[in-house]
Amino acid sequence: MKNTGNLLRLSLKNAVKLFFLTSVIVGVSTIHTSLADTPNGYVTSKECAECHEKEYKGWSKTLHSKIVQDAKADRSAMLGDFSDPRAKEFAKEYDIELTVGSHWKQRYLVKLKGEYYALPIVWSVVTKRWEDYSVSFWNRMPYSKFCIGCHTTNYNVKDKTYSEHFVGCEACHGPGQKHVESGGDKKFITNPANLPDNLRDMICASCHVKAKDKSKKYTFPVGYKPGDNLADYLFVLKAEDETVEEFILNEFNNWKKNRKAPQDCSVCGIDKTGVPQKLQKADDTVTDFCFGCHNFKDNFSAHTMHSEELDITCSDCHKLRAKDDIRKEPETDSRNIHSYDYYRVHKSGCYDPYIEKQCMKCHKDKDKDWAISLVIDWAVPPDFIHD
């Protein structure tokens, strides 16, 4: 009986080992085959980061990656002044769950009867004040029909699901499951740089051109994927002699022109890893934002006329004009007049009275005349630097 008991114990021990090994094997198998369960072939940005770490880091610095934030998990995401009487009542009455936006304006989402709605006031990040937003019908504009398609990746209108609640990698590159499973075969992923100009621009236009889907129920192109012809997914009110595609591209070109955006993917700041390492000691927040649109990271020293070793950043020589202008024109949308003025001598011969102040912040041993003369000699930075 003693030997039998030992054998039984050994058998159980071996069985446990076998079960454990089997579980590990199954677990490993599950890891490698789990992509088959991803909705519509989307694998999420974290999966992309496994092979594209540099691009992921660049993307994570962009506004796209932070378009929606969980206000309940992190109250610091709420930039608005909720001590203001105008906002205090809303803060008392509604439990704010999500924020949308963090640079120009920030909207606040609350849940009513299981559906998200944006409150009728928005916080202007630029002017630090509250502004009205769809005041009379805000609670008749559900987030799921008016907004969410452009604030998520892989949104499904039927079951209201998504892969990520922000603009992830696959929002611009399409579903990545086959690309991952093939070991990175480029034919299974959309690279905007390799698309014809019209199809490349349509990726951005899918969210930056105002229009409804074919059913006219949603204000975003339901079912659209990068590389598709956006004209097949939108209903637009166009001129009689204009095609839907022409309307879309014309509207998108106007959007780019208003924001001085470049033609390529540097508008997202993900063509490279953002700010060069030598600039990391400078004001990263300002510089990162500028390089999100201005495509001259590699020529930054030539642009500033200063050594790469110095901690020069964009705000050292540029000032944000929008704040002052909007305060003078309260009804103006901050996004329409955002620009940075260059502290320089104008071609007319007049000079900006602040130019010498900026230069002499660092060059304390110099005077105003020196600063003005220096900038006249510089003239405008080379045109190739500005896209």
Per the model's pLDDT, the better-predicted residue between 55 and 323 turns out to be 55
Q: Are 107 and 87 in contact (CB under 8 A)?
A: no
Helices (H) and strands (E) in the chain, counts: 14, 10
Q: Are 95 and 81 in contact (CB under 8 A)?
A: no
- Cα 59 from Cα 271, distance rounded (Å): 9
Work out the average pLDDT over 83-111. 90
In the structure encoding, which two tokens stand for residue 56, read together?
């992921």
Per residue in 146-203, pLDDT (tens digit) is 999 999 999 999 999 999 999 999 999 999 999 999 999 999 999 988 899 899 999 9
Q: What percent of the chain has pLDDT over 70?
A: 67
- Cα 55 from Cα 172, distance rounded (Å): 13
Q: Find residue 123's DSSP bridge partners.
A: 106, 130
In this predicted structure, the answer to whether residue 32 has a pLDDT above a threshold of 80 is no
User: With bands split at pLDDT 50, 70 and 90, how would you rate the model's confidence at 143?
Assistant: very high
pTM, whole model, 2 decimals? Answer: 0.65
In the structure encoding, which two tokens stand for residue 149, read together?
């398609």
* Straight-line distance from the first to the last Cα atom of the chain, in angstroms, rounded to the nearest whole number: 87
Whats the size of the chain, residue-wise? 387
184-220 burial code (b ≥16 CB/10 A, e <16):
eeeebbbebeeeeebbbbbbbbbbbbebbbeeeebbb
Q: Find residue 351's DSSP bridge partners.
A: 345
- Cα 361 from Cα 262, distance rounded (Å): 32
Q: Write down the residue that tokens 């390089």 correspond to.
A: 291
Report residue 201 CA to chain centroid gap: 16
Q: What percent of the chain has pLDDT over 90?
A: 37
Per residue in 335-376, pLDDT (tens digit) is 433 444 444 444 444 455 566 777 888 888 888 888 877 777
Q: Are 344 and 385 in contact (CB under 8 A)?
A: no
- Cα 149 from Cα 161, distance rounded (Å): 10
Q: Are 64 and 167 in contact (CB under 8 A)?
A: yes
In the structure encoding, which two tokens stand for residue 135, read together?
């005041």
- DSSP reduced 3-state for 139: helix
Q: Are 72 and 97 in contact (CB under 8 A)?
A: yes
